[in-house]
Structures are given as C-alpha cells and as structure tokens.
Structure 1
Amino acid sequence: MQFSVYQESQIGGRKVNQDRMGYSYTRDSLLLVLADGMGGHLRGEVAAAIAVQALSTLFQQQAQPFIKRPVRFLEEAFLVAHEEIARYKNEHNMPESPRTTLVACLVQHSSAIWAHCGDSRLYWARDGAILGRTRDHSHIEHLIAKGLADPSERATHPDRNKLYNCLGANSLPQVDISRQAALQPGDVLLLCSDGLWSMLPEDDILRALSTQTIVRAVPDMLNLAVLTGGDKSDNATALAIMWQGNPETGVADAPGVAPNVISTQMLAEDQSNSTILGGAETVTPSDIVDEFGDDEIEKAIAEIREAIERSSQAILNK
C-alpha cells in the first residue's frame, strides 16, 4: 500500500484538549482512528485515549497482515473500548462514566470500511465530490431522517449538538458500519471532530480537500475553524490520508501528491507501525494542572495500558 497522511489537533479556546487520534498499519492494512472526549462529562480525554489505544492495540494484534473479518473487528473493537471506559469508571469510583465519540476507518485491498459512534465524522472525497460521509448520531439528524427538520438546519438547529449515542454511556453504543468503498488513487479520507466540521460549510471542506494536498488542507481548515469559533472555539482535530494505491498491482501513484508518502510493501507480515497523538501536544503545562497533576497523568496512562492489554486478551480468546 501507498498513502500520504497528515494529522493535527488544535486546542482552540478550551483549557484541555480532549481529542485523540492516530493511525496504525501493517503491510496490507491501515487503521485510522479519531475520538472526541465529551466535555460535559468528567475526564472525556481519558475516554478518548482509551478508545483510540484500544482499537490500535487490537489492530496490531489481529492484522497479520490484514484483518480477515473487518465488520466483526470494528464492532467488537468499539464494544471493547466501551467496556474499558466503564471499567475505568468503576475502578475510580466515579459518579458517572467518561464518554467519547469515535470514528474509525479500515483500509485494505484497495477498499475502505468505516464505523462511527457519535458525531465525529469521516468524509470520502474524489474529484471534487463527496462520495460518502458518516451521519451524526445527533437529535437533528434524527429529526431530518424522520422528515421533521430540513437538512439546511444542520448548522443552526438548537439541538444540533445533542447526541444520543457515544462510548461510555449507560447503554451499549450503536456502532454504524459502512459498506465497502472501492478506493482509487487520489481519493481522500478525512476523519475529524466536530470542532472542525461544525465551523466550516461542507463546500469549504470539499474545496480544501480538492484543491490542496492534505498537508496544506488539514492545517488550513483547522486554523479557520478555530479562528471562526473565536475564544469559545472547541478542540479541532483532523486525520487525513490520500490513497495512492497498491504498487504491486501496478496501480499508478496519484498525481500531485505531497511527498510524505508511506509505503508498506517492505514490512514483514508480522510487523506493524503506529502513530497515536494525544491532545497534550497542544496544551500548556498550566492547562494540564487544571485537570490532572503529573502523578495522576502517569498513573492514568499506566492504567489505560493495563486495560488495553486485558481487552486484547479477551478478543484473542474468543
């Protein structure tokens, strides 16, 4: 496989960045993940970190060198992440569970399949058109589906930010999974939090993805989203790839692609790489102290790692 990739997160006007994202790949498979911790609940950033780490760990263990049952993998991985968030809540005697949205995309054999829970989005773009995107698990989308609201109200409806589905809630999450999407060289897959898409019209997102490389488009969109939101802007996060195809099948590289290309063909079957970014890269030390002390941060990281190991073993033993 060959693809170019770019990811970035901006804290916006918040004290803590609760978004998390990352990608992992083997010779024949690629996983993209993005989570947005829900700010109305305690430690949303912990829920987001657990979700991203859970999917990444499970992918690295099961993609040898690709995931044999993509739909089952995504369904089970989302549920494991949900269970580990609940476990974290119980172990810390929290009054309520941390919560997060989650969107993930699995790319292998020149096809993509994605899953989501909440309102973190995926866009699939080609030749100036959006071929597919996730539909938010929000009250406004429910009203539109029932014919009780017009699609033009998505950006203005008072209930547009009310979600009925996420990881970490008392009920099991609803995991929506797409059909297989056949990729062509030059296709772009964009995963983003609502801090980006809620600030930019969809036409502007499409224009950026169609006229610039992802290395330029992603930071430009994030900068504009934060600027538009002003002092009260949300965390804004995006992870994007431009697909270039499988060289071993003779598919040509997409023209005009940025030089930050990853080629996986030299990896061994049992080898994987992973790049997971937390929100801390964009948070100042004083901001972190508002949420956690240094000792608590280290303790939380260690506990998350232990939880992911338990999740991995549970999946492998099924």
Structure 2
Amino acid sequence: MPSAATTDSTSSKGYRLTASTGIHKGDREYQQDQIALLAHPRINGCVLGVVADGMGGRSGGRKASDQVMMTCKQLFDRYSPDHDDAPSLLKQMVQESHLVIKLTAISSEQEPHSTIAAFLINPNGECHWVHAGDSRIYHFHSNRLVKRTMDHSYVQTLVERGELTEDEANVHPQSNILMGCLGAEDDPPADLHFIEMLRPGDTLLSCSDGVWHYFSPEELGSVLSSLSPREATEFLIEKARARAHGGGDNLSLVIVKFEPLGT
C-alpha cells in the first residue's frame, strides 16, 4: 500500500482544506523523491506543498531532494505573509536549494540534481507556485483543468514547436532529458504562477513524473473531483503502478482540495 498522510483544516474564507500526501518507490531499488506538506508554524491557513524528484545515483539523488526539503522548510518557517513577498520567497527556495545541491556535489562523486514543484497558499486564499524540471503542479476546478506547469524538458520544447503531441512526448525515448533543474551547471529556471483566489471546488496536485506520466489531465480531474484526497492519493499510486508494468519510477504527490464548508 502507498504511504499516505491526511490533514484537514477550516479556513475563514468559506472553505475547508483537506489534503493528502503519498510516496512510493515504484519499481526502483531506492527512493529519491521527497515530499512535504507544511502548515506554517505561526500563521493559520498558510500552507506549503513541495515535491522534489532527486537524480544522480542512489545517494546523490536522495541527498539532492533532501536538501530541497530542508531549504524550503527553513525559508517557509521564516515567512510572514504580511511582510514578505511570496514570489520572492519561492524563487529564493529554488536558488538556495540549487546552490546547496551544487555544494554537496563538490564533496561527493555523484552528480546530484533535483526537480522542484512547490505551491504556497496564503491565509487570504491567494496561491503562488514555482517549478523547475519535470515535476508538475496542476490546478483543477471540479474536474476541469485550469492550469498546469510546463516541463523544462527536451520533449516539452518539441511539443511547444508543434513537432510532437503530448501523447507522443509521453512515450518518446528521450522524455527523461531535462533542460533545467536544481544542481545543474546552469542556473535553474524558476517559472512562477499566481492564482488570485482559490475557491471551493478547486484542487491542487503536485507530483513527480512517476505519477503524471500515466494519466491524462481528464483522468486526473475525474479522480480528484470524485474522491477524497486520501482516496485519490491511493488510487493514483496504485493505478500508476499497474500501468508501469514493472518498470515504474519513484512516485510522489501532494493533493490539496478546497471544499465548501458543511460538506
């Protein structure tokens, strides 16, 4: 069974926030993904979700994703929505994680790298997200896809040029080649997105490619709208495992759902 954790909190904005996280090593020998879903230590209704997919050998990839989690938690603990700028904080998470991973690489033989897909929810209902690499964030309203991140990958550039469809990109032999991530020689991308107000019926999903690779947006929307976060977490991990046919990557996901009060 997948590992899953669930939280439930009520906001003064008229919705109830329910959430779940899940992680599974898939068919790999070791786990290099890391996830976090953090409630702010001082500010009620302020939440950070992070997925990091580490790469670079058994210890290198895990070391990289661990560094992402540690850096994000430290910066989030110091964050104040009244005084700090959320996009600046998210960019700082990307840049500082990148530098720490590069310093780690100096003292090891591996080449540690990591993706990041992080979203920050403020108590007023605003949401900001940032990503680098091919871990994704999806924003659904009911079962409809509103927005998702665009991968920093070779096949995504081919899709954007019109040379591949999304379905073709999924099965392309070079689908795992990244054009940007943390710990690489070049500075990482840090694509930001802003949601002005989250509403009842909205769902955020952050996940590694070990999850999204096996589902269309329509399938994800259907699962997320019809199941609780915990049920959706378990279903998506089990279905991705089945569809991988013994060749599956590490899987990790964070789901946050905004439900009307009284449901």
With structure 1 as the length reference, what TM-score do the two structures score? Answer: 0.73
Q: 1:12 to 1:41 in 2, by over 3 A?
A: closer
More relative contact order in 1 or in 2 (CA 8 Å, sep 6+)?
Answer: 1
Corresponding residue of 1:43: 60
Match of 1:106 among 113, 120, 124: 120
TM-superposed deviation, 1:62: 1.9
Corresponding residue of 2:203: 188
- Aligned residues of 1:85 and 1:98 also touching (Cα < 8 A): yes
Counterparts of 1:30-179 in structure 2, within 5 Å, are 30-39=47-56, 43-63=60-80, 68-90=84-106, 92=107, 94-108=108-122, 109-179=124-194
Question: Using the alignment, how far apart are the partners of 2:153 and 2:201 within structure 1?
Answer: 31
* 1:22 and 2:36 correspond: yes
1:256-310 Cα shifts (integer Å, max 9, x gaps): xxxxxxxxxxxxxxxxxxxxxxxxxxxxxxxxxxxxxxxxxxxxxxxxxxxxxxx
Counterparts of 1:271-310 in structure 2, within 5 Å, are none
How large is the Cα RMSD of the aligned pairs?
1.8
TM-superposed deviation, 1:231: 2.2
Q: 1:67 to 1:45 in 2, by over 3 A?
A: farther
Question: Using the alignment, how far apart are the partners of 2:59 and 2:244 within structure 1?
Answer: 23
Q: Which stretches of structure 1, 4 residues or longer, exceed 4 Å deviation after superposition? A: 39-42
What secondary structure, in the 3-state scheme, does the structure 1 residue paired with 2:152 have? coil
Q: 1:254 to 1:55 in 2, by over 3 A?
A: farther
The structure number with the bigger radius of gyration is: 1
Q: 1:152 to 1:227 in 2, by over 3 A?
A: closer
Which amino acid letter does the alignment assign opposite residue 170 of structure 1? Answer: E
Question: Using the alignment, how far apart are the partners of 1:188 and 1:172 within structure 2?
Answer: 31
Corresponding residue of 2:20: 6
- Aligned residues of 1:186 and 1:254 also touching (Cα < 8 A): no
TM-superposed deviation, 1:138: 0.8
Question: Using the alignment, how far apart are the partners of 1:67 and 1:191 within structure 2?
Answer: 26
Higher strand share: 2
Which amino acid letter does the alignment assign opposite residue 57 of structure 1? Answer: Q
Question: Using the alignment, how far apart are the partners of 1:3 and 1:125 within structure 2?
Answer: 15
With structure 2 as the length reference, what TM-score do the two structures score? Answer: 0.87
Question: Using the alignment, how far apart are the partners of 1:203 and 1:35 within structure 2?
Answer: 24
What secondary structure, in the 3-state scheme, does the structure 1 residue paired with 2:115 have? strand
Higher helix share: 1
Question: Using the alignment, how far apart are the partners of 1:42 and 1:217 within structure 2?
Answer: 30
How many aligned residue pairs are there? 245
Q: Which structure 2 segments of 5+ residues have no match? A: 1-10
Q: Which structure 1 segments of 5+ residues have no match? A: 245-251, 256-318
Corresponding residue of 2:8: none
- Aligned residues of 1:12 and 1:233 also touching (Cα < 8 A): yes
Corresponding residue of 1:207: 222
Question: Using the alignment, how far apart are the partners of 2:169 and 2:83 within structure 1?
Answer: 35
Q: 1:35 to 1:66 in 2, by over 3 A?
A: farther
- Aligned residues of 1:42 and 1:97 also touching (Cα < 8 A): no
- Aligned residues of 1:51 and 1:102 also touching (Cα < 8 A): yes
Question: Using the alignment, how far apart are the partners of 1:67 and 1:194 within structure 2?
Answer: 35
